[in-house]
A and B are shown apart, each in its own frame.
Chain A
Amino acid sequence: MAVTETAQPGAEAAKGEAAGDERLAYRGPIQRLLVRPEIGALIGAAAVWAMFWAVTIPFGTAAGTANYLDVSATLGIMSVAVALLMIGGEFDLSSGAMTGATGILVILLVKHTGELGGAGLSLWLALPLSFLIALGIGWFNGALVERTSLPSFIVTLGTFFMLKGGKLGFSKMIIDNVQVGRIDEGSGYTFWRKIFASEWTRNNHLFEGRDVLFAALFIGGALAVLLGVVEMTYSRRAEARSPGLALCTGGGVLGLAGFVGLLATDGVGSNVLFGAVTAVGFVLAAVGWGKWRYEDRDPESRSSGGYLPTGPVLYRVLTGLAAVGLATFFAFVLDSESQSTFIILITVQGLRAILFVSLALGGLVLVMVAAQQAGQSSARAEFGTKVIGAVALTFLAFVIRADSQSVKFRAELFTVLLWLALIMATSALLGLLYRRRTVAERRAEALGRSLAGAGITLTAVAVAVRLLFSTAEEVAATRAVISFRISILWFFVVAAVSTWVLLRTRFGSWIFAVGGNKDAARSVGVPAARTKTTLFMIVAAAAWLVGMLLAFRLNTLQAGTGDGLEFQYIIAAVVGGSLLTGGYGSAAGGAIGALIMAMSFQGIPFAGWNSNWKFLFLGVILLLAVIVNNYVRTKAEQSR
């Protein structure tokens, strides 16, 4: 049930008319988002990114992004496929060795030399042939698991050893070397290299208006997402009230003027002034929009209870505020100018950023959870809690602003935090003034969805503009080559296609079904054996793709390439919200899990931290990501 609900929120919401049954009650967009399996990973990814972005400058640049995306690509292609397989209830321990095996196989097939004389196949023949062989191995894994009913853990462990030994044995036998090289000897190499190993260098693409366009697109996108969420949250009034629209327009103009002022000036005093103008304008615009469009909340429910939360909720708010306060404390205590190494582990700036990000984020999450709980009893208490959160955020923002002399603790953080505070304050006001939707409405749902979709697209375009264009100043400042590898594109395509298959096709539902309960699935007509075998073949196909990406990029592969990486794929899938027991998870989550791992791994050298502690740090991050994931999911399920 949970599966189909998360998979098709639209259909579920349409059925929401039949109120009374609590399973069919309307759930707001935020709540629907929170029960998605990949949401914890998404929050984790944002936190890891923010942390390294605050600690070191190259990490946030286009060159840095190309760097960690490159690492996440080969890992992510596999972890997406492995996530599908894990949702289907199986493991594939041969997946890591497969990546190297397919690459080596193709090189051996195209080579002319060697003691056997060499096959010297054209790449046009060798690639499809090796792909078929890869599918064959996947089929072999799947069929063996199905026929013997042995755990896939054991069966694929066997395949793993066979592949590992096969790679070595055949390499030694055929070319008498454990290093298999020169795929460029194959005919058709120039063409296939473009497909698997081309790079997109962006250093010469200058665009001086980049940052302005980025800001405009990003803010536009964020606003559209906000409007979409608001549209899905609040109950529409029968007819629009025009004074609201006037208020909204006025507020919008004021907010815009304030924002332009913020961009134009740089002193602390003028920043405070224009920041306040922006804030007032923004709040007025939001309230005006609500007045124009949404139904007022009952005066009775609005006036009941006090503004301050009580009992366990109050306790939670206080803990959250204490954490935020501690974050501020550390930001001040640790010397902002110091670039020295702190003890042995990391730099002072690194420690500062970690403490700041984790404490501030944890504290604010606590406040938000408290606000949600308070909202179940009293509208006023929810309002109060959210306002407290907004004030805490504003405070944090100004702490950062006062400190922006320090290169490594970014001034941009100020803007981001202020916007978050504004959004929180606005949502507090809207929640107090307007009635929440209790029943789904098809038109509002569709409108909200398309607004949010458009907003996300705009934001993505904004980020792409930011990454794909350089300014002359930036190019002069950095020597790094901004070069995106095509493997990143493959990664995005694989992640998108897998997500679509999992959520929108019949085969996707079969995957959830066989992973949840295979016998039950079979008895309702799901071809369980075929589904599982196909999943093994998908993993093998992904391994083949990664093998090609490696072979064309490196030209020479070691016999040991890929061995032992299978656990990284599984970990990435679990970080992304898939369960080890099957039946639950997400393909997009697998991609985000790979992103978290790649960012954590690459962020450490970028930040100049001691590499001896790399795995300790990686372990902590992964554990945290999984715990956050679990926490968010249980909370969201409880509040249904």
Chain B
Amino acid sequence: MKIFRWLAVALAFGLVAAACGDSGSSSGDQAASTTEGSSGTTEQVDVTQGSDFTFYVITHGDAGVFWSVAQRGAEDAGRDLGVTVIYQGSNNDPEKQAQDIEAAIAAGADGIAVSLASPDAVGPAVKKAVDAGIPVITLNSGVNQFKELGAITHVGQTETVAGEGAGERFNALGAGTVLCARQEQSNVGLEERCEGLANTFNGTVISEFVGEDSDPTAQEAQISAILQENPDIDAVLGTGPNVAVRALGAGEAAGRDLIVGGFDISTEIIDFIESGDIAFTVDQQQYLQGYLPVVFLYLNKTNLNTVGGGKPVLTGPGFVTTENVGEVKALVEKGTR
């Protein structure tokens, strides 16, 4: 029986046109078989036990590993507090994100949490929300802009501080020259991670863009080429989890034994930390970046609390290393780390 259901899913995977019916019934199964108390992945959580607040969490996030955890955080907070949370990702499209914010204002949102990856494009929409008297909290990116836009606080990690933490780790591990491998070419945050690394690391830092995550083989080959050109490199810091894993393969191809560190969490990088191939990953605990803004907005609405005192609330850096990887792994599988 199970096989047949799977066949149906597989076929639907290809012919999405026919998928609506299938996925409907499948998600029913899913709800029935949920054992860990997680809610699955529905876009909108509507558990209105206590109040009827509706909070919008509007990010620039894509559907990657990182943002799905932040989304889960926001949704879990909504369920815990008994408010409606609507999560919307815009896949790095600032215009869409601004439109989503304006739509939330029009829909009468009780509070908005927003990530400011592109402050210039999204800022005006945030300003409108603040002017309309809606409490706003920025999350993930926007630590330098939240105050002037009138947001209550910022929940996130300062990239530079996180990079500095990684630099100290590499010092302790005895690295000489670190390649800071970036997976996006024009992302300020990733560059700040590399700058932070250079601030605290005692040796040399080489910062390079090594290709997008969507083309993993090219990424690996690029890192391998850089390693062959620079014989001094003995460590790699990937500014994302996937690029860190690619650095392992690249090190193998270039005949090097590298100390590899990464940023953020994925099931894959956790496996490699467990096996000892990757030394650590910098965890910014993005679950908090989804969860806390909702709590803060709730407290603001019900009790007029303003958290942070005009300063950002930091969620990281936390580190996942061989020591704590076991516990973190269980949480990753739950989807909250």
Contact = CB atoms under 8 A, between A and B. Distances in A.
State whether these chains interact: yes
Contacts of B212: 564
* Most chain B Cβ neighbours within 10 Å, of A130, A483, A611: A611
A556 B242 CA distance: 10
Contact of A483 (B7, B16, B210, B253): B253
Interface in A105-124: 105, 108-109, 115-119, 121
B80 interface: no
Nearest to B256: A479
Interface string B1-21: 011011101111111110100
Given A178-B63, A558-B64, A560-B62, A67 B2 contact: no
B323 interface: no
B215 A565 contact: yes
Given A560-B214, A601-B222, A63 B65 contact: no
Interface stretch (B227-235, B280-288, B297-305, B309-317): B227-235
B72 to A, nearest CB: 9
A561 interface: yes
Contacts, number: 186
A176 interface: yes
Contacts of A166: 13-14, 16, 19
Contacts of B231: 479
Interface stretch (B26-34, B142-150, B169-177, B197-205): B26-34
A451 B10 CA distance: 53
A402 B143 CA distance: 59
A560 B27 contact: no
A563 interface: yes
- Size bin of chain A's contact surface: 35 or more
Given A109-B10, A558-B213, A605 B225 contact: yes
A617 interface: no
A117 B33 contact: yes
B23 interface: yes
B23 A173 contact: yes
Count chain B CB atoms within 10 A of each CB in A66, A115, A137, A483 and give the residue with the most: A115
Contacts of B10: 105, 108-109, 119, 129-130, 133
B214 to A, nearest CB: 5
B13 A565 contact: no
Contact of B218 (A71, A137, A606): A71
B328 interface: no
A598 B220 CA distance: 13
Contacts of A554: 216-217
Contact of B64 (A117, A169, A559, A562): A559
Contact of B216 (A163, A178, A550, A614): A550
A70 to B, nearest CB: 5
A550 B218 CA distance: 11
Contacts of B218: 71, 75, 598, 601
A136 interface: yes
A598 B38 CA distance: 44
Interface in A65-122: 66-68, 70-71, 73-75, 96, 100-101, 105, 108-109, 115-119, 121
Contact of B26 (A75, A119, A173, A487): A173
B224 interface: yes
A394 interface: no
Given A105-B10, A605-B226, A481 B252 contact: yes
B230 A608 contact: yes
A150 to B, nearest CB: 15
A165 interface: yes
Contacts of B217: 70-71, 73-74, 487, 550, 553-554
B221 A68 contact: yes
Contact of B253 (A168, A170, A480): A480
A179 interface: yes
Interface in A543-594: 550, 553-554, 556, 558-565
B221 A71 contact: yes
Contact of B33 (A116, A130, A178, A606): A116
Nearest to B255: A479
Contacts of B27: 173
B268 to A, nearest CB: 5
Interface in B167-214: 185, 208-214
A608 B229 contact: yes
Nearest to A540: B14
Nearest to A180: B267
Given A129-B10, A162-B16, A606 B253 contact: no
A166 to B, nearest CB: 5
Contacts of A66: 253
A177 interface: yes
B227 to A, nearest CB: 8
A181 B268 contact: yes
Contact of B6 (A116, A173, A607, A614): A116
Contacts of B216: 550, 554, 558, 561
Contacts of A56: 229
A121 B5 CA distance: 13
B157 interface: no
Nearest to A174: B9
Identify the interface centre among A71, A105, A564: most chain B CB within 10 Å of its CB: A71
A178 B228 CA distance: 32
Nearest to B268: A556
Contacts of A614: 185, 209
Contact of B34 (A115, A478, A559, A562): A115
A604 to B, nearest CB: 8
A137 B27 CA distance: 24
Interface in B80-103: none
Given A170-B12, A170-B13, A602-B221, 12 more contacts: A119-B2, A119-B3, A133-B11, A137-B14, A173-B26, A178-B64, A178-B68, A181-B267, A550-B216, A554-B216, A601-B211, A612-B209
29 contacts: A67-B253, A68-B221, A70-B221, A101-B13, A105-B14, A109-B10, A115-B40, A116-B6, A116-B29, A119-B2, A130-B10, A133-B14, A137-B14, A179-B267, A179-B268, A181-B267, A479-B231, A479-B255, A479-B256, A480-B228, A558-B213, A602-B221, A605-B210, A605-B229, A606-B229, A607-B229, A608-B229, A611-B208, A612-B209
Top 3 nearest A-B pairs (CB, nearest first) are A119-B6, A605-B225, A479-B255
